[in-house]
Amino acid sequence: MPPKALDYEQLNENVKKVQYAVRGELYLRASELQKEGKKIIFTNVGNPHALGQKPLTFPRQVVALCQAPFLLDDPNVGLIFPADAIAKAKHYLSLTSGGLGAYSDSRGLPGVRKEVAEFIERRDGYPSDPELIFLTDGASKGVMQILNTIIRGAGDGVLVPVPQYPLYSAAISLFGGSLVPYYLEETANWGLDVNNLRQSVAQARSKGITVRAMVIINPGNPTGQCLSEANLREILSFCFHENLVLLGDEVYQQNIYQDERPFISSRKVLLDMGPPISKEVQLVSFHTVSKGYWGECGQRGGYFEMTNIPPKSVEEIYKVASISLSPNVPAQIFMGLMVNPLKPGDISYEQYVRESKGILESLRRRARLMTDGFNSCRNVVCNFTEGAMYSFPQIRLPPRAIEAAKRAGKVPDVFYCLKLLEATGISTVPGSGFGQKEGLFHLRTTILPAEEDMPEIMASFKKFNDEFMEQYEDHRGYSRM
Amino acid sequence: MPPKALDYEQLNENVKKVQYAVRGELYLRASELQKEGKKIIFTNVGNPHALGQKPLTFPRQVVALCQAPFLLDDPNVGLIFPADAIAKAKHYLSLTSGGLGAYSDSRGLPGVRKEVAEFIERRDGYPSDPELIFLTDGASKGVMQILNTIIRGAGDGVLVPVPQYPLYSAAISLFGGSLVPYYLEETANWGLDVNNLRQSVAQARSKGITVRAMVIINPGNPTGQCLSEANLREILSFCFHENLVLLGDEVYQQNIYQDERPFISSRKVLLDMGPPISKEVQLVSFHTVSKGYWGECGQRGGYFEMTNIPPKSVEEIYKVASISLSPNVPAQIFMGLMVNPLKPGDISYEQYVRESKGILESLRRRARLMTDGFNSCRNVVCNFTEGAMYSFPQIRLPPRAIEAAKRAGKVPDVFYCLKLLEATGISTVPGSGFGQKEGLFHLRTTILPAEEDMPEIMASFKKFNDEFMEQYEDHRGYSRM
């Protein structure tokens, strides 16, 4: 038989080039082990509810009522739902045209986009236009759509931090563009040095690549750093001079674990800078209901906001969004609830504050526990997780471990992470999945295991690691930073 | 300033080429008129709940409980939820790992995929493998992913029926492939003639296009025809001999309004045919929770099932699905509930049957009302809607109307539909958005307006149409079929 279109050899080459380590070899092996009955701690993906985080009660009450609007007429509804949840459900149902079962506008419900715009205005101090806000099935879908709009071919480059969240490398491969890496400085707590950006752009140009856009992830994934206002100004100024669209991945804006650098949005800094920069730099910012203290990953809700994008381009983005009709409506309601939360005096306010503070404070403690745990291990150094949901320790693999990995046909950090998984059930992602400097090795783990489990997990990690190092060290020298 | 990457002129040309009429000029104008206070009847998109169809009660109860799992411990829960809904909610929660807020596997929850496989086996009489079933955020996302996997460039062609649902033309443009049209026969109730397929493939080849896949929509959208088993055998045999992947869009499989040709799946016919065809033809079939008597469009739930696709290709498809992490989990539960419905004896069974039969029988009556209504209008002829959710009447526009349209700078059927919208508030989609033979004009409308509103809507249509024809007829001759 001749080859067929869905035979492997015949597939779109861009599809085959895609790599996505967060659900790659390690995850697949962990899933196998789980099937075989081994207890797996899935720290490969920022998926808080999978590790026991409870959903916030109030938004769940509201969305449950929206799913079952017939309950609003039930005389007993007040026995199990508080009055403010009932009122909010009525509010959000009034924003739909036909409830949760009807497609919304392809950009999302106008009423929810208005609430997002009001949130952005309160946050940044500048008005925001709901017509420039598109709701999406999670932030990833929005990132993919914008990259698909920008990338015309292999000559188009996108600046991406290294280490990076592999959504970016995967989407750039899928759309046939070129990833232009810029390195974050591990020794400066994963800081972003604008001189590195200049070098990266110059190198890409020398290869004939037109750099068209730049991605920042703030707070950083997998690196956890929070960008300072001064740093953001440098970045925006760089984008202005180099004529780059800035994609601001700000999905972790609620996840901040230090007080020196609170979250500040790219958009606020851009507008603070005034003309010409504030009028010229094209910015797309992303947010989600999956992170923060919400962690509603499975609902798939997100938005992007466009600044300085011409109306004709916005129309094109709208048109392409229309092909898949509408983002899911329940998650749009979660987004509305997230950006327009309860206020003091509301019946459910105290419970809401107690739950969200509880999650956030625990995450802060876990960030510290994890960093300290890693730094207590032989040949492991780890920057503090200033924000987001991850630790990204450097693992200084002894040469003999690197040789053993080569013999096993594995990248050294994959080798290490597989051994860790088999020994402890801890499912991490090797640093090579995010990019790292040649000869250095890392892994990414979320800080999401339940706080009470954390001491045991870190002890189990330390035991594995220190034995691994003992086994492979030849007491002459290690790979070094 | 130099041009910027998100300026219109600078965008990915494939993005600009996309056309998607279902939410195109007519829809945008209808939305404007609605803002201005005009009452609009949105029949542009198959969105039943937006036109007053009530959701089925039982699945909504189950998903509401899954959203609010804390209710399962509430002593009062039995006052407003039936016991079988409570049991089903517990069942589906047990299939998740962390409830609706946790990402599932990127292919969907294993337990729900198993229920889908069991449904397919009951339907077709052949076992189905859950590992070859991927849940998606609506069927459209699945179609897009498969087309993206197949299309390597402009030299790759996909056979698409004309008229077609513009998801296909839009996605093929976006991924840079070539649409190869094959014409459905309006005079044979939109039947599919395999000779037309051969001609289309020959023509495409003469232009240097490799035809790699074929799309069928059964029941048809916008054309409403149901394919016979004999016809499906011809199609599969054609795919075998021409080495084409078959994409079977079967989202309307529950929407059948005649008894001569019940729905039969492509997969059943394929497997019935035996080797070599049953072992060789690559088939991907699509289904959804948005259509049928469910109409849960806003939830965005769907699946695709792969037959004869090699494991290495399935892995690639899995990898790309992983980039956006997981389909939304609430809609996965709707899918489980749809494929694994209540059984006689269950507490809620009678209500469930009453509701679903009520919707389906009413749709059948509306299909008839609408066809008859169109056929009572001057210069309008309309095939009966055998299945799906649409009428696609031919509008025989008089030459003077065509001239008037040209003077207004509009495609003639767009001109007609805009006038219809302004006069009556009925928001349809011009036939040119789906493709039609040169010189013929159509429109698509859903059969979804509430049954009690139907006589008034059809009267309003007839009044507009007959006056329009009166105005533009010169009593010498019309455009003819």
Of B61, B280, B295, the CB nearest to A68: B61
CA nearest A130: which of A106, A100, A108? A108
- CATH number of this structure's domain B99-339: 3.40.640.10
CA distances in angstroms from A7 to A21, A284, B134, B168, B241, listed in the order given: 23, 37, 18, 21, 16
Q: What percent of chain A has pLDDT over 90?
A: 93
* CA distance to B42, B261, B294, per residue, from B361 (Å): 22, 17, 13
DSSP string, A349-417: HHHHHHHHHHHHHHHHHHHHHHHHHHHTSTTEE-----BTTEE--EE---HHHHHHHHHTT--HHHHHH
Chain A residues whose beta carbon lies within 8 Å of the beta carbon of residue B244? 5
Give the pLDDT confidence score for residue A481 in this predicted structure.
Answer: 41
In chain A, what residues touch B47 (CB-CB under 8 Å)? 98, 102-103
Confidence tier at A474 by pLDDT (50, 70, 90): confident
Nearest chain B residue to A301 by CA distance is B328
Which residues in B lie closer than 8 A to residue A5 (C-beta atoms)?
A: 150, 156, 212-213, 243-245, 282
**Each residue of B129-149: pLDDT tens digit?**
999 999 999 999 999 999 999
* Domain residue extents for chain B: 8-39+353-472, 99-339
Q: Which of A27, A103, A280 best tests the B interface by mutation, with the highest count of B CBs <10 A? A: A103
Q: Look at B149 and A12 and tell me if their CB atoms are within 8 Å.
A: yes
Are the beta carbons of A174 and B324 separated by less than 8 Å? no
**What is the per-residue pLDDT for B247?**
98
Which two three-digit tokens encode residue B275?
Answer: 């080797």
Best of B328, B335, B337 to substitute, by most chain A Cβ atoms within 10 angstroms, is B328
Rounded Cα–Cα distance for residues B17 and B36 (Å): 31
Q: Residue A45 pLDDT > 90, yes or no?
A: no
- Select from B329, B328, B308 the least CA-distant residue to B244: B308
- With respect to CATH, is domain A8-39+353-472 assigned 3.30.230.70? no
In the chain, the amino acid numbered A274 is G
**How far is A131 from chain B, CA to nearest CA, in Å?**
14
Question: What's the whole-number mean pLDDT along residues A439-459?
Answer: 95
CB contact under 8 A, B2 and A243: yes
Token pair 């983002």 in the structure block, residue:
A327
d(CA B187, CA B201): 22
pLDDT score recorded for residue A454: 95
Only one residue has tokens 């937006």, namely B50
Contacts of A63 in chain B (CB under 8 A): 67
pLDDT cut 70: percent of chain B above it: 98
Query: Which of A22, A64, A313 is facing B7, going by the closest CB pair?
Result: A313
Please give the pLDDT value at position B475: 62
Residue B245 with chain A: CB contacts under 8 Å: 4-6
| DSSP letters spanning A29-94 | HHHHHHHTT---EE-SS--GGGGTPPPPHHHHHHHHHHH-GGGGG-TTHHHHS-HHHHHHHHHHHH
CA distance B73 to B94: 15
CA distance A249 to chain B (A): 15
Closest CA relative to residue A324, chosen from A90, A145, A68: A145
Question: Tell me: the pLDDT tens digits for B231-244?
Answer: 999 999 999 999 99
Rounded to the nearest angstrom, the minimum Cα separation between B343 and chain A is 22
In this complex, do B148 and A296 lie within 8 Å of one another by their Cβ atoms? no
- ipTM for this prediction: 0.95
Give the integer Cα–Cα distance in Å for A307 and B192.
Answer: 48
- Specify the pLDDT at position B94: 98
Which residues on A lie below 8 Å from B298 (Cβ)?
A: 96, 98-104, 326, 328-330
| Interchain contact, A5 vs B105, CB within 8 Å | no
Interchain contact, B322 vs A61, CB within 8 Å: no
Cβ proximity of A109 and A135 under 8 Å = yes
- Residue A322 has its nearest CB partner, among B23, B64, B103, at B23
pLDDT band at B21 (very low <50, low <70, confident <90, very high): confident
Average pLDDT of chain B to the nearest whole number: 95
What digits encode the pLDDT tens for the residues B434-446? 999 999 999 999 9
Mean pLDDT of the A199-207 span? 96
Give the β-pairing of B245-249 and B283-288: parallel
From the list A7, A96, A100, which residue is nearest B310 (CB)? A7
Hey, of A4, A51, A351, A359, which one would you mutate to test binding to chain B, going by the most B CBs within 10 A of its CB?
A: A4
- Say if the Cβ atoms of B298 and A57 lie within 8 Å: no
CB < 8 Å to A60, chain B: 67-68, 70
Q: Could you report the per-residue pLDDT of B249-307, keeping only the tens digit for each?
A: 999 999 999 999 999 999 999 999 999 999 999 999 999 999 999 999 999 999 999 99
Question: According to the model, what pLDDT value does residue B23 have?
Answer: 72
Does A99-339 match A8-39+353-472 at the fold level?
no
Q: Which two tokens stand for residue A126?
A: 């500048």
The pLDDT value given to residue B75: 94
| Cβ–Cβ below 8 Å for A100 and B298 | yes
Burial (Cβ within 10 Å: 0-12, 13-18, ≥19) of residue A157:
buried
**Residue of chain B minimizing CA distance to A316:** B16
Count of C-beta atoms within a 10 Å radius of residue B272: 17
Query: Which chain B residue has the Cα nearest residue A50?
Result: B98
Dihedral over alpha carbons A462, A468, A474, A475 (to 10 degrees): 10
The arithmetic mean of pLDDT across residues A154-169, rounded, is 95
Interface test mutation site (partner A, options B22, B65, B103, B293, max chain A beta carbons within 10 A): B103
Nearest chain B CA: its distance from A66 CA (Å): 8
Burial class (CB in 10 A: 0-12, 13-18, 19+), B110: middle
User: From A143, which residue of chain B is nearest by alpha-carbon distance?
Assistant: B324
Give the per-residue pLDDT at A19: 87
A160 Cβ contact partners less than 8 Å away, ≥ 6 residues apart: A168, A169, A172, A179, A180, A181, A182, A215
Give yes or no for residue B478 having a pLDDT over 80. Answer: no
Between CA B429 and CA B217, with CA B223 as vertex, the angle to 5 degrees is 110
pLDDT digits (tens, 9 = 90+) for A452-469: 999 999 999 999 999 999
pLDDT of residue A475: 61
CB pairs under 8 A between A and B: 302
Virtual torsion, Cα B358, B364, B367, B368, nearest 10 deg: -120
* pLDDT tens, residue by residue, A74-122: 999 999 999 999 999 999 999 999 999 999 999 999 999 999 999 999 9
Minimal Cβ distance to A299: which of B61, B294, B328:
B328
pLDDT tier, A476 (very low <50, low <70, confident <90, very high otherwise): low
Distance CA A399, CA A123 (A): 50
List beta partners, residue B204.
Answer: none
Overall average pLDDT of the B451-472 stretch: 96
pLDDT per position as a tens digit, B50-102: 999 999 999 999 999 999 999 999 999 999 999 999 999 999 999 999 999 99
> What is the average pLDDT across A207-217?
97
Beta carbons within 8 Å of A197's beta carbon, 6+ residues apart: A159, A182, A214, A235, A238
Please, what is the average pLDDT of chain A?
95
| Residue B383, both tokens | 């095939």
